[in-house]
Structure 1
Amino acid sequence: MIVLGLTGSIGMGKSTTAKMFSDFGVPVHDSDEAVHRLYRGKAVPLVEAAFPGTTAGGTVDRAKLAERVLGDPAALKRLEALVHPLVRADATAFLKRHHAAGAQLAVVDIPLLFETGGQERVDQVVVVTAGPEVQRERVLARPGMTEEKFEKILAKQVPDEEKRRLADFVIDTGRGMEAARLAVADIIEELTGKRPVAKAS
């Protein structure tokens, strides 16, 4: 089974592209979704022990946790040290299941793939990109996003140009959804030898 890492900077269309792989029948592990699940399960006692008062009713209160770690690099590092191994274990279990089920290809959606050395854990990497103007417009349209927040997030991410250089495949979502969907189908065909057909929604 080929493991394809999917990544891209904020606002590049990674989640939309992950859904396109899924629509073509490729199993996709979504790191963000895994964190949401872990924040209602395994991560709760660990987060409460490290950041008392940030959980309630067996769930991590994301707003309280954000208040505690944002703007505090040491606290953020502590949180990442707790959560990243859990997400990695979740992805490993996901890949084992699909390998056993005979999948030819599986996608692991990793937001900070290059930043965390994730390229070592996948066979090939696809980077989702878009022009800087498109990216800025998409990100600033998000609720609660400001120029300052956007710049801080960008500063923590490997630059888009560098990501594209390191990628095996690049999908430009700035050219429209249909072009992106075709690019996804081309990648699947190249890796599996079969032209995929989208599942009926």
Structure 2
Amino acid sequence: MTYLLGLTGSIGMGKSTTAKMFAELGCAVWDADAAVHRLYAAGGAAVAPMAEAFPEAIVDGAVSREKLREIIAADTTALRRIEAIVHPLVGLDRKDFIGTVESDIVVLDIPLLFEGGNERNFDAVVVVSAPEAVQRERVLARGTMTEAQFEAIRAKQMPDAEKRARADHVVVTDTLDHARAQVEAIVAGIRETLDA
């Protein structure tokens, strides 16, 4: 039996690092953001339907995220239309991944897992969390967005406290060692139940 473990957490909480820890312990890890990048790349499954709906979003045979941001900013209905194209393709990518991997635990890294109402599709959900000050510091240290952009993204995400309350497991990423110990405990606990 394959155990499906959802992994989520708000921006800057350490989700990518935590996903790598699960992978190091032999879990198969699927990343929703990476799936979208594949779909948007030249030859990706999202290029043709996006070209039909938003021809101005295609640059050099690929979907341009920058152009999509401009389209979304100019048209309030665009995001819903983009999601209607992309979400089913991401779902197919995820299903294909689950069907092809041979691992006892499959970790599905989905940033907006709760926001999309997807928690019922998993055996358990892990929320990655960190203190708000740490979250802010991490995101702004990347140098890729302003404080206003960070706040806008946070405003669209479910509050961390609510995610933690809905989770089966919480990994606090205050230090790497602490996070790793929590991940190891989660994986050991799941493997125990699978072997029982």
User: What TM-score results when the alignment is normalised by the length of structure 2?
Assistant: 0.92
Structure 2 match to 1:183 = 182
Q: Deviations over 1:131-168 (max 9, x none)?
A: 00001111112233112111111111110000000000
1:5 corresponds to: 6
Match runs of 1:152-191 below 5 Å: 152-174=152-174, 176-191=175-190
For 1:142 and 1:25, how far apart are their aligned partners in 2?
29
In structure 1, stretches of 5+ residues that fail to align are 195-201
* 1:117 corresponds to: 117
The residue type paired with residue 20 of structure 2 is K
Over the aligned positions, Cα root-mean-square deviation in angstroms equals: 1.4
Q: Is the 8 A contact 1:7 1:126 kept in 2?
A: yes
What is the rounded CA distance, in whole Å, between the counterparts of 2:116 and 2:142 in structure 1? Answer: 25
Could you give the per-residue CA deviations for residues 44-100 of structure 1, whole angstroms, max 9, x where no partner exists? 0111111112113321122222221146442112111111111111111111112xx
Secondary structure, in 3 states, of the residue corresponding to 1:25? coil
CA–CA distance in structure 2, aligned partners of residues 146 and 84 of structure 1: 28
Residue 61 in structure 1 maps to residue 86 in structure 2: no
Equivalent-residue separation in structure 1 for 2:153 and 2:89 (angstroms) = 23
Secondary structure at the residue paired with 1:53?
helix
Separation in 2, partners of 1:78, 1:104? 36
**Contact 1:70-1:76 within 8 A present in 2 as well:** no
Aligned counterparts, 1:93-104, within 5 A = 93-98=96-101, 101=102, 103-104=103-104
Query: CA separation in 2, counterparts of 1:179 and 1:42?
Result: 39
CA contact (8 A) 1:110 1:118 kept: no
Match of 1:85 in 2: 88
Q: Which residue of 2 aligns with 1:197?
A: none
- Quote how far apart the aligned CAs of 1:119 are: 0.3
Q: Which residue of 1 aligns with 2:127?
A: 127
Q: Secondary structure of 1:193's partner?
A: helix
Structure 2 partner of 1:34: 35
User: Number of residue pairs matched?
Assistant: 190
Tell me the equivalent position of 2:18. Answer: 17
| Structure 2 residue identity aligned to 1:159 | P
* Aligned partner of residue 171 in structure 1, secondary structure: strand
| Stretches of structure 2 lacking an aligned partner (at least 5 in a row) | none
* Residues 28/70 of structure 1: CA separation in 2 closer, same or farther (3 Å cut): farther
Question: Identity of aligned pairs, percent?
Answer: 52
Matched, 1:137 2:140: no
Q: Is the 8 A contact 1:13 1:129 kept in 2?
A: yes
Q: 1:162 to 1:8 in 2, by over 3 A?
A: same
Q: Matches of 1:70 and 1:86 in 2, distance apart?
A: 23
Say if 1:10 and 1:154, in contact at 8 Å, map to a contact too: yes
Structure 1: how far apart are the matches of 2:188 and 2:136?
Answer: 32
